[in-house]
Amino acid sequence: MDRKKSDKSYQVWFQSCRVLPIEWVIAGIIGGLILITYTYADGVSWTIWSTNLLDVIFDGKPLDYYAYCRENLFGAMHKDMGTSVFSVLPWAVWNIPIWILQRFFGFRIVENSLMLIWSKLFLVAALLVTAYFMYQIVLLMTGNRYRSWLAALLMVSAVHIYIAVCFAGQNDVVICMFGVMAVYFLLKKRYGLFMLLSSFAIATKPFFIFTYIGLVLFIEKRVDKIIYRVLGGFWLTILFSLIYHNAPLYQKSIKGAIKYGDEIGKILSKDISFGPVVNTSIFILILCLVYFFAYVVKTKGDEQWRQYVIYIAMATQFVFFGFTEYFYYRLILLYPFLLCVILTNKKYLRLNMILEVLLSASAVLVHLNTNGFMGPSYVARGFLANFLPGINTGKLHYVNLNQIMWSVKNYALYSKIFNAVFIACLILLLVINFPGFKKDLGKENDVCSRGWIWLHMALIIPVYAVSLALCF
């Protein structure tokens, strides 16, 4: 009898949303290992750009920032700082301790892996703030603390979050942080904070603008108010552009950076032919349809209104990742609202988790073909390499993991299949999480076994293990 009771209790926990402390510990260990293993070029450049800002402020010459970055006195991996000063401002504040060591005590950040780890911890802090506000969003909408903690855990342990934060050292997580905070305050109907925090996200990098416009169209119906709020989202970007417009080498730096990554070109690169004159951007086409839906949809009560807020936020990100080209680390933007939608939906948790795992895994397999992330070459520069006897710091047989993929016969064909799975999962997640979708898919799909959550957490392990093994 006791054994049956014990087995039943275990089954109830195994299919519950309750997060155990050990799961947080495991997520932290995995993230910590990746953080200290790799030193990636982008993270180094962002670190140096942040301390460069402190240099010019200390010297009383903030308008010389872009010219100072172009001198590249401290060995950044990229020549041009091609974005807004605001994007490095919070990071610069975090990096004051290592700036002091470099400025006054002769340390060189690019040669000190511990100082570079300190810099990446800023991104970890931004991730934890993002997870906290996701917790608050799910708690606000469900009142269920178990589901709220699960949303936070799934965020910090997703494979593409590990890649963007702990490996690449890119600041897209800061967009997530400001964006999730903005949506949280929108759900509380604090429109001023929504607009302010959205402007922070857009000024960091402009990718949140697609979500912001969709949400503005949902909450406002008068044209003058729509224009006011949309322009309000750009005020910080415009302010920094005006301040630095005539600053030394500002224009040249922006243009120089665009040569290496024309984001507008990537966004508009996928097109479809509807007429004899020119092709049409499929991204803009579908985004306009989402915007039209956001503008005309009617809701009943605050609960449904909140469901549509996070659904529209998710849908705009899905359109971006479904119909544009983008760098692999940008996928971090997909997860906050996706996971909030999954955990606030009282049904289909198992089905949602299966689709999320398939989506994440297929995206990894696609981008391993097109990008060299988590390559063995970046391990030799990391802190962990100091404690790995026998590591090959010379010529590596495989510099990046995509070289392994290319050696697999017909992998380009397989990559198309994986990409089709990724797009299919995006579409299916949109369908079953639509607030008006009420179809009964069976009670077994409303609860999720622990195995899918653990698989979600473990997706990064094979990639990390192969990358590390190739160093010896």
The pLDDT of 8-34, averaged and rounded, is 81
CA-CA distance, 72 to 76, in Å (whole number)? Answer: 6
Helix axes 113-142, 41-58, angle to 10 degrees: 100
The pLDDT of 155-172, averaged and rounded, is 95
Residue 267 included in any domain: no
Residue 107 included in any domain: yes
pLDDT at 371: 72
What is the domain range of residue 42? 17-257+283-469
CB 92 within 8 A of CB 51: yes
pLDDT higher than threshold 60 for residue 8:
no
Residue 22 included in any domain: yes
pTM: 0.93
pLDDT higher than threshold 80 for residue 252:
yes
pLDDT higher than threshold 90 for residue 437:
no
Q: Is 272 helix (H, G, I), strand (E, B) or coil?
A: strand
pLDDT at 257: 61
pLDDT band at residue 274 under the 50/70/90 scheme: low
Residue 6 included in any domain: no
pLDDT higher than threshold 70 for residue 398:
no
Q: Model confidence over 345-393: pLDDT tens digits? A: 988 899 999 999 999 999 999 888 777 677 777 887 788 888 877 676 5
Average pLDDT, the chain: 88
CB 40 within 8 A of CB 78: no
Residue 465 included in any domain: yes
How many domains are there within the chain?
1
pLDDT band at residue 1 under the 50/70/90 scheme: very low
Query: Could you tell me which of 82, 166, 66 has the C-alpha nearest to residue 382?
Result: 166
Residue 277 included in any domain: no
Residue 273 included in any domain: no
Residue 316 included in any domain: yes
